[in-house]
Amino acid sequence: MIAPTRMALIAACALSLSAPAARALDLNDMSDREKAAFGDAVRSYLLENPQVILEAVDVLEQQQQQAEAARDDALVGANLQEIQNDGYSWVGGNPEGDVTLVEFMDYRCGYCRKAVPEIEALLAADKNIRFVIKEFPILGEASVLSSRFAIATKLVAGDDAYKSVHDTLIAFQGEPNEVALRRMAEGLSLDADAILAKMNDAEVTEQIQRTRSLAQTLSISGTPTFVLEDEMLRGYLPAEQLQIMVEDIRAGRS
C-alpha cells in the first residue's frame, strides 16, 4: 500500500500533467463538490496513465535517498575525529595510509563474517588503506561477551593478540562462554586468566559504551556499517566496489 504522503505526491504529479491551470487552486478553499470533482479528475487521470504512479514513487524514493545521504554526510563530518581516531579501537592495514576505512561490526553478524574476506582482499591489493575496527555488539549477550573478550585481549596483550582473537571470534560458531574463551586464549598462547579477569573492567565497558553512543549519534543500527573517509556505507560491500570508491576518493584529491 502506498503511504498517504506518496499518494499526495502522485496526485499532485497527475494533476499537473492533466490540468496545468489547476496548479493555482487552493484545496483548502474548495467546496465539498469541488473536492469530489478534483478527486475524480485525479483518479481518472491515474487510471488512464498508471505509469505516473511508478514515476512519482521513483522520484520520491530518490529524493529520500538523497536526503538520507546528505544527513549521513553531515553526521560523519561532525564526528569524524571520533570515528577515525578514538584512541582505543584497533587500527590495521597501513596505519599511515592515505584513506581510512572504519567498520562497525558484531561477531555474531553473518554479513560481518561475509565481509571479512572482502576487506582482507582490499587491504592485500591496496597497501595504503588505514583500517579501523569498531566493536559494536548489538546482537545479544553472546555478541557482548565476544567484544569484551576481544577488547580485554587488546588491553592485556596488545594489537597483534587482538587481531588474532578478532579473526578467531569472527569465525567461531560456538557459544562464547568462559570455557570456550579460555580454550581460545590458550590456543593462541595468551594469558587466559588475565584476559578473562579484564573482561568486566570499567575500561572495557567504557569503550563499548563510547562506540554505542557514537553509533547512536550516527543513526547506525545495523552491522556491518562502514565509514570510508567521510562517507557512510550501510551494509555489506564487495572488495571491488570498495576499491572503486577508494580510487574515486584519491582521484578527487588530485
The three grid cell numbers given for residue 21, joined into one nine-digit string: 491551470
pLDDT tens over the chain, length 254 residues: 445 444 454 544 544 444 444 445 666 777 888 888 888 888 888 888 888 778 777 777 777 777 777 787 899 999 999 999 999 999 999 999 999 999 999 999 999 999 999 999 999 999 999 999 999 999 999 999 999 999 999 999 999 999 999 999 999 999 999 999 999 999 999 999 999 999 999 999 999 999 999 999 999 999 999 999 999 999 999 999 999 999 999 999 98
> What is the three-class DSSP state of 173?
coil
The three grid cell numbers given for residue 69, joined into one nine-digit string: 545521504
Cα 11-15-18 angle, rounded to 5 deg: 140
What sections of the chain are H helices per DSSP? 4-18, 32-48, 51-78, 80-84, 110-125, 141-157, 159-171, 178-187, 192-198, 202-217, 239-253
CB 125 within 8 A of CB 109: no
